[in-house]
Amino acid sequence: MKLKFHSILLFILYLMSAASTWGQTVNYPNRPIRIIVPYAAGGGTDSAARAMSQKLGQLLGQPIIIENKPGASTQVGTLSVVKASPDGYTLLMGTANLATNVALFDKMPYDAQKDLKPVSLITKVPVYIFVPSNSSIKNVPDLISKSKSNPDGLSYASPGNGSSAHLAGELFKNDSKSNLQHIPYKGSSEATTALIGGQVQLSFDNYGPVMAQVKSGNATPIAIAMPARSSLTPNIPTLKELGYPMEAYSWWGILAPTGTPAPIIEKLNTAIQTTLKDPEVRESLQKQGVEIIGSTPTEFADHIKAETVKWSQVSKQANIKAE
């Protein structure tokens, strides 16, 4: 008799829980949604989140609040989302650090693939090779040749140790057997200043941070690390065309805490796909030099797994660790 009563009680509790979850998903969202950006305000990730927020909020019927939580190579902001209630009201604007930090740090306060639920990949931000416009290096064959003929090699700037640009530089160095020396800077602004000031011979970086110097004639992109040319720079060859079929890019995407109900993930994904088709949103993102993607949650999860494996191998080979 006691066993039967216990079973009935468990069933009732299950029904109550299911009803509560159903109510949450049907009424979602009924209050503002926060998107945590794990960087300071004003950067590319922050700008992308804000470019999407108004249209996304209109589609969901609630305001989207962008909250910046920088620190520890995105770990501070990411951890705050991991610990948040899985109800769809706290989301993460995740970056390539979700894949690269695994290789750079011996200990992480979370497991990105277990503690976060991918919603949609938003963009890919290609890595380019840049040289000063007055450089004697005019193309990738020049770069490789000069690096090998110089006993000290050539120095290249990146926005920081362990950044996507740094990892791209090491992958290119390995694939091309170039003699390149990495010089890390504190962000793209400093790296670009060093490039046009002649402190380094080249740089690996995304297009957006260097765009102004390219337009003013101070810097020149000589290759893009993507399978196809970019519509933003159609005259710039891919490294694949030049015999080095490597792909390297930063990326941004929306994730939620693990345990967020599937109907909420689906609703967010649908709204994001619609947002990314909006002409104003597309124009705002493309001005930052990004490739607009959009994906299913499963495609985004597979992307994070593949990127983690890829960059872990590069980091191990080049012995790269966080500073």
Please say whether the beta carbons of 142 and 227 come within 8 A: no
The count of structural domains within the chain is: 2
Instruction: Determine the Cα–Cα distance for residues 95 and 98; give it in Å rounded to an integer.
Output: 6
Q: Is residue 133 part of a domain?
A: yes
How confident is the model over 60-76, as pLDDT tens digits? 999 999 999 999 999 99
Question: Among residues 216, 232, 213, which one has the least CA distance to residue 282?
Answer: 232
Mean pLDDT of 316-321: 88
Q: What is the CATH number of the domain that holds 158?
A: 3.40.190.10
Does residue 263 surpass a pLDDT of 90? yes
How confident is the model over 125-135, as pLDDT tens digits? 999 999 999 99
pLDDT band at 18 (very low <50, low <70, confident <90, very high): very low
How confident is the model over 162-220, as pLDDT tens digits? 999 999 999 999 999 999 999 999 899 999 999 999 999 999 999 999 999 999 999 99
Q: In this structure, are 134 and 213 located in the same domain?
A: yes
Strand locations in 133-217, DSSP E? 154-158, 180-184, 202-206
Question: Among residues 299, 281, 298, 302, which one has the least CA distance to residue 290?
Answer: 281
Strands 33-37 and 90-95 come out as parallel
Mean pLDDT of all residues belonging to the chain? 92
Q: In this structure, are 86 and 148 located in the same domain?
A: no
Please say whether the beta carbons of 99 and 74 come within 8 A: no
Q: In this structure, are 65 and 106 located in the same domain?
A: yes
Q: Is residue 51 part of a domain?
A: yes
Does residue 17 surpass a pLDDT of 60? no
Q: In this structure, are 109 and 139 located in the same domain?
A: no
Contact partners, residue 158, CB within 8 Å, separation at least 6: 165, 166, 169, 182, 183, 184, 185, 191, 203, 204, 205
Strands 202-206 and 90-95 come out as unpaired
Residue 250: strand pairing partners? 125
Structural domain of 305: 33-125+249-318
Mean pLDDT of 146-171: 95
Q: What b-and-e string marks burial along 198-237, b requiring 16 or more CB atoms within 10 Å of the CB?
A: eebbbbbbbbbbbbebbeeebbbbbbbbbeebbebbeebe
Reported pTM: 0.87
Does residue 21 surpass a pLDDT of 70? no
Contact partners, residue 257, CB within 8 Å, separation at least 6: 81, 82, 83, 84, 85, 86, 90, 115, 116, 117
How confident is the model over 29-71, as pLDDT tens digits? 999 999 999 999 988 899 999 999 999 999 999 999 999 999 9
Q: In this structure, are 201 and 188 located in the same domain?
A: yes
Please say whether the beta carbons of 63 and 144 come within 8 A: no
